[in-house]
Amino acid sequence: MKIAQIAGFLGSGKTTLLIEVAKELVARGKRVAIVVNDVGEINVDFKIVESYGLRAKEMSGGCICCEIAGNFANTLALLWTNFKPDIVIVEPSGVAIPWGLKRAAEYSEAEVPVTIEHAPVLTLVDSTRIDTLLGTVRRLVVTQIREADVCLINKVDASDDARIKRSEDLVREINPKCEIMRISTHKGMGVKEVAGIIADRTSSRYDEAVERELLRQEYGSG
């Protein structure tokens, strides 16, 4: 069972993208479930999304990478038992840490006989709000970018070249290795490519040594 997380700050467009990507994967014949751990601008209408042929679960009461990591693992185990998804697309809360979410997902292996794989970690960067993001919530945004395999510079339909360029420069500076794509879910730009990345590629499993190194980079060695 493959877990695909779409990280990004509140309002960056996670729910909007997740639904379009899930539909695309269902159209490609995949069994898809979605798990949403967020109260966002756009609430997921479970009746509608399930009518697309996928399974949807909502989780509240804390962040699935920390406070309710155990519930998240249970939810994945139940999804496996009842639905056997190929892919579970996860919308973490805007404050979740990608490595923590990988670890929490792997806990489900203790409950059901399934191996967890990870799709590349996707982090959305809202190019229309890049300057605000760098001011008030910089540390979280930096963490999500640092741990991304692919950064999606989003809402390019409503942004401008200068802000898009600033978003890309920021990503390059924080995470020189990650891929960068410009997308606009509203214009359908990048949706098929993102579905392809989730379906065809993988990311490493949780590794305590890697997480320790990331934390050291972030908080210093003290």
Ligand X SMILES: Nc1nc2c(ncn2[C@@H]2O[C@H](COP(=O)(O)OP(=O)(O)O)[C@@H](O)[C@H]2O)c(=O)[nH]1
**Which residues of this protein are in contact with Mg ion, per CB under 5 A?**
14-15, 38, 40
**Is residue 155 at the binding interface for ligand X, with CB under 6 A as the rule?**
yes
Given 185, 195, 199, 203, the residue binding ligand X (CB under 6 A): 185
**Is residue 190 at the binding interface for ligand X, with CB under 6 A as the rule?**
no
Reference 148, options 124, 173, 116; nearest CA is: 124
Q: Toward ligand X, which CB reaches closer, 108 or 154?
A: 154
Q: Toward ligand X, which CB reaches closer, 31 or 186?
A: 186
**Is residue 205 at the binding interface for ligand X, with CB under 6 A as the rule?**
no
User: Measured between alpha carbons, how far is 122 from 156 in angstroms, rounded to an integer?
Assistant: 17
Render the burial of 172-204: b for 16+ CB within 10 Å, e for the rest.
Answer: eebbeebeebbbbbeeeebbeebbebbbeeebe
Given 1, 2, 3, 11, the residue binding ligand X (CB under 6 A): 11
**Closest approach of Cβ 156 to ligand X, in Å?**
8
- Binding segment for ligand X among 65-73, 100-108, 153-161, 171-179 (CB under 6 A)? 153-161
Name the percent of the chain in helix, strand, coil, to the closest 5.
Answer: 50, 20, 35
Contacts of 155 (CB under 8 A, 6+ apart): 13, 126, 127, 128, 184, 186
Site residues (CB under 6 A) for ligand X? 8, 10-16, 38, 40-42, 154-155, 157-158, 184-186
